[in-house]
Chain A
Amino acid sequence: MVVDFTVGQADVDRVFHALADATRRDILTRVIGEEQSVSALARRYAMSLPAVQKHVGVLESAGLVQKLRRGREARVSAELERIRLVRELLDRYEQLWRHRVVAMDHLLTDRPAK
């Protein structure tokens, strides 16, 4: 299956909003390691099952996790490609700064071109 990585700005904002919460980051970290059931996740937090379901819903609408039904259980798994995409956004900005620092260094040192 071909995965389309093109994301609009609304998508990007949903991703960052989803990551701006400590519980959601913790849920994401757990499901990256291993697929989890919603009820197993809920047992780990001092909050109600509906509250945890809501957090999972925010992660799901940002495309960071996928919810699957296995029999009676709702399972949550990580969407690794989307998580990589977020990293990539900041990686590209890092590359810009690496370029700038090299250009500054060359201006300062008058290093001969090789």
Chain B
Amino acid sequence: MLSKIGDWFDERTGYRAGIAKALDEDVLGGARFAYVFGSVLTFLLVLQMTTGVFLAMYYSPSATDAWASVAFINDQVTAGWFVRGLHSHGASAMVIVAGLHLLQTAIYGAYKKPRELNWIIGVVLLGLILAFALTGYLLPWDQTGYWATQVATGIAGTSPVIGQQVQEAMQAGNGYGNLTITRFFALHVFVLPAILIGMTVFHIALFRKHHQTPPWWLDKKELKARTQPFWPDQMFKDIVAMAVVFALLIIVNYQTGGAHLDAPADPSTAFDARPEWYFRPLFQMLKYFHGPMEVIVALGAPVVIGGVLLGLPFVDRGPERNPMKRLPYLAVLAVGIVLTVGLTLASYREDANNPEFQKAAKHSHARATKARELAVKYGVPAQGGPAVFTMEPGYQGKKLFSRDCAGCHLGSDRKGPEIASGYNSRQWISDFLHNPAADRFFGPTKITGMDPVTASDEDYAALIEFVYAQTGADDVNVDLAAQGNKLFDDGDCSDCHASDWETEDEVGPNIGKRGSHDMIKQFIVTPNHARWFGDKNEMPSSKGKYSEAELDEIAGYILGLQSKARNSD
């Protein structure tokens, strides 16, 4: 049945002959692991294209949505972290394998006549891979990508004469925004792939025309004698190499938990930008050059590297392919490699020995974790990535408190009691009852009437629990609080204080529901209410100033302080 379907298609397409032709190639001198790099690169390219298409199913290229959509892929979509991790680490793998491919062909002298053009295409393909990396790095619109890419477009901006125009063309306008990301996205997923695929086809076609460059140490007769067919001899070695690279990729992906995602890009924050590891040498090099040299090096280095590679076949022109006899030419590559590795190591070592950077990195990591947690839990507000931080419960309340309340209730210039972490906790109540006139409490106010409470430890605990119970906390010891209530009513407390919420105009404030959500809201609006401080109140009324929702936010924030340890902010 299957063969009949096959026959039907073969009669109409001739696919069998096509496949046979594609696989039928003699490998002069026999199959070798040295030849696997091109195939592995093709495999990685297919993997990148596949994962890339799948990422695009969830990715949204806009300055407000990009980070949120990537965080969604990474933290919510089934296997999303895995797909994104494969794509990100796959990019690194492509850079590494492309480097190895270049080295192998250089050592074998594969750039020599008649293969010069294919070498040139290979160098251009390497440049394209780096262009993919550069454009892809920005797409998550996270802190790392945002700031590192600023450096790249900034360098372009230093170009002589047309610098500003080049930079504006790259980032699409005067600064980073929606157009930057749509432009980078279009380059990354449409323009670069089209060029890359086209050139790869050309590269492979030329390779098939000239065949692989055989070992230099075998003469013609020996090469012929050892010849093996591409299928399956070389293909088997190729797929073994692909499997090894793929396995490594998956291991690295699992080990790292997928690709890194920083907090959403935020132009208002400080961030220590670092490029991807393969741009580290260029990044590091810029530290050593200042003034006019900086521009020359920043723009010149890629030109020099590209120029050396492109020029190699035209300088090393003889038929000699033995590397030992081409040492001066290969030495140029060796120096390049040593410089690259050296600069990369220097860059990482500098960061490792820089406590400031380490501290900043730790802070960024914590911020990223927080942002991603909030994104999963509440979603990202439509105004953009950094707005995810406003979703944190109490955020609005904290903002309002900082703006309107902190002036009098925080810091050394306070005019009222301190409202900070631990406010209205058992410890706070205990501290207060022991010394109401302390600077933390009524010290800065005109309220002086209350004496420290004296009682046995046991009674103290009961009284604290009773006062604590007024806040509506959910971990109240009800029996202890009832005991405290009795002490309150029977003892001195009730001489000055009511505890029923309704009673007004006592000597001291009514402590009913004191510190509860409702009480805080009402107190903010009418602090001079006869239920509380009446004439003795110094706090300005906020009647009409806040919406109900804002009052809820402020009260929520103040109530949230209760469960925090003192001085934890």
- Bound together: no
